[in-house]
Amino acid sequence: MKPFELSITGWILRFYLTMGIILVAGFTNNWWIAILAFPVVLSTILGIKFGDKQVH
């Protein structure tokens, strides 16, 4: 997990994932599902990149 290493492609994909979660929560009228978008938003804002556990 590396902070501030997220590419623009990852940022855009996480944005769409967040919007998808919020839309599903809204259309199903189950707003507690929207809480699942919070970790996605935080990881996007902080630019956290998952994976690539190679040590150089």
pLDDT score, position 4: 83
Please report, for the chain, the start and end positions of each structural domain, with discontinuous segments joined by +: 8-46
Task: Summarize pLDDT for 4-56 with one digit per residue, the tens.
Answer: 888 899 999 999 999 999 999 999 999 999 999 999 999 999 988 887 666 65
pTM score? 0.79
SS3 sequence of the chain: CECCCCCHHHHHHHHHHHHHHHHHHHHHCCHHHHHHHHHHHHHHHHCCECCCCCCC
3-state helix, strand, coil in the chain (%, to 5): 65, 5, 30
pLDDT of residue 51: 75
CA 54 to chain centre: 23
